[in-house]
Structure 1
Amino acid sequence: MPLARLSDQHMSAQESRRRERSQPDGLSKDTIFSMLSNQRRRYVLYHLGRTRETVSLRDLAERIAAWENDVPISELNYKQRKRVYTSLHQTHLPKLDEADIVDYDRDRGTITLADRAAELDGYLEVVGEHDLPWCDFYLGLSAVALIALLATWLNLFPFSLLPNLVLAGVIVVLFAVAAGANSYLARRNRIGGSNAPLAGPDED
């Protein structure tokens, strides 16, 4: 049989399988949290969302192994590569494919982000290893505001020179700016976003 016909039949079978498993009501929350509960699956979605193109299983496994071992890809050993490759092939990619979050072609060893990955946008925000979590930032900002208010109440210099209304305004502006930055980065960092890539593991 000609290779072109085999290829067409293969693509048709893949498309048919995706239609059959389609869930018109969308992903359930249990499915979403189950998919995102594993770090390797989150790494898969991060990498696919960043590249926005089809990737090979080998390249994906190497990238994730490098992140997990905190080494450049060139310094990975066979065992590190094989461990991630096997777990992706046997467990994680089939799960994501079954949920229609990625399209995993086992025969060709390729992975593509599927349409349903967009349903994870509101649930997934990856924070880099060296990034400060926003909850800690707001906690620190609240502590600074509390110290400023206490210093003003104790009439300490230079806070004693500021009218109470001005100090309150400064605090409100600081929180508003921080909230605006948080909201912007959250939208930008969503899987499949069209702007800058997700804040994720440091590059080599």
Structure 2
Amino acid sequence: MASVQQVDGGGSEPATEVSEDELFEVLANQRRRFAVHLLKREEPDSIAIGDMAEQIAAWENGIETAEITGAERKRVYTALQQSHLPKMDNVGVVDFNKDRGVVEPTPALQNVDLYMDVVEGREIPWSTYYLGISGVAVALTGAVWLDAWPFVLLSDMAWMIAIVVAFTFSAITHKYYTAEMKVGEPEEPPELT
């Protein structure tokens, strides 16, 4: 569970718990994921709901912001104002001031990265990949230990180095991949790249 301190108007600082379920509910909707991406790009600054609606409408339609129509922008603006941003505010990941039309990130927004494992199309999650490579390493170690053919053709040290290289290569690839898919880092949200 992520613990977040929110400051209310009275000056006290009540602790607000943002559960994993609440974060997953926020991230379950594409428009809210796009809003999170925009806010993470703008951190620690606020963003006007109109600017947010304009960029999200452009992403949804696969066009530049200058090309969106008033109807496309209004549709997103209305949904953000009436549904998505109040829900995100209630959970505690944003501070939505409806009167000013401004959205600000909260400290809980930083925890969102911990729950994002973007898997596109037919890709497998990294956790499944590492489980698979660990299984292969165990089977290989067993075959080498039992002196099974053709594993006896290389020394035990060579096989150990091969396993270490496989895990190192996987870790470097994973690090690069997650850096490319980090919410708020690239220009477009990870699901559009």
Q: Does 1:99 align with 2:86?
A: no
SS at match of 2:104: strand
Larger strand fraction of residues: 2
8 Å contact from structure 1 (residues 55, 111) kept in 2: yes
Determine the structure 1 residue equivalent to 2:23.
32
8 Å contact from structure 1 (residues 93, 104) kept in 2: yes
Bigger shift: residues 176-185 or 28-37:
176-185
Following superposition, the deviation at residue 125 of structure 1 comes to 4.3
SS at match of 2:95: strand
Q: Does 1:87 align with 2:79?
A: yes
8 Å contact from structure 2 (residues 96, 102) kept in 1: yes
Which AA in structure 2 matches 1:200?
P
What TM-score, normalized by structure 1, do the two folds share? 0.64
Runs ≥4 residues deviating over 3 A? 132-135, 161-168, 183-192, 196-199
Q: Residues 62, 49 of structure 1: CA spacing in aligned structure 2 closer, same or farther, 3 A cutoff? A: same
Q: Residues 51, 201 of structure 1: CA spacing in aligned structure 2 closer, same or farther, 3 A cutoff? A: farther
Q: Residues 133, 86 of structure 1: CA spacing in aligned structure 2 closer, same or farther, 3 A cutoff? A: farther
Following superposition, the deviation at residue 124 of structure 1 comes to 2.1
Structure 2: how far apart are the matches of 1:71 and 1:171?
46
Following superposition, the deviation at residue 168 of structure 1 comes to 5.8
Following superposition, the deviation at residue 88 of structure 1 comes to 0.5
1:64 to 13, 37, 56: 56
Which AA in structure 1 matches 2:174?
N
Structure 2: how far apart are the matches of 1:32 and 1:126?
15
- Residue-pair matches, total: 178
Cα RMSD after superposing both structures: 4.2
Which AA in structure 2 matches 1:176?
T
Structure 2: how far apart are the matches of 1:187 and 1:91?
31
Per-residue CA distance 1:94-115 (angstroms, 9 max, x = gap): 1111222111111121111112
Q: Does 1:182 align with 2:144?
A: no
SS at match of 1:122: helix
Determine the structure 2 residue equivalent to 1:200.
190
What TM-score, normalized by structure 2, do the two folds share? 0.67
Structure 1: how far apart are the matches of 2:125 and 2:171?
9
Following superposition, the deviation at residue 169 of structure 1 comes to 2.8
Per-residue CA distance 1:8-50 (angstroms, 9 max, x = gap): xxxxxx9428x78x76252122212211111111111111101
Q: Residues 190, 55 of structure 1: CA spacing in aligned structure 2 closer, same or farther, 3 A cutoff? A: same
Structure 1: how far apart are the matches of 2:75 and 2:82?
11
SS at match of 1:43: helix
Structure 2: how far apart are the matches of 1:89 and 1:78?
16
Determine the structure 2 residue equivalent to 1:11.
none
Determine the structure 1 residue equivalent to 2:33.
42
Structure 2: how far apart are the matches of 1:121 and 1:113?
14
Determine the structure 2 residue equivalent to 1:74.
66
Structure 1: how far apart are the matches of 2:79 and 2:117?
23
Following superposition, the deviation at residue 200 of structure 1 comes to 2.0
Gaps of 5+ in 1: 1-13, 156-160
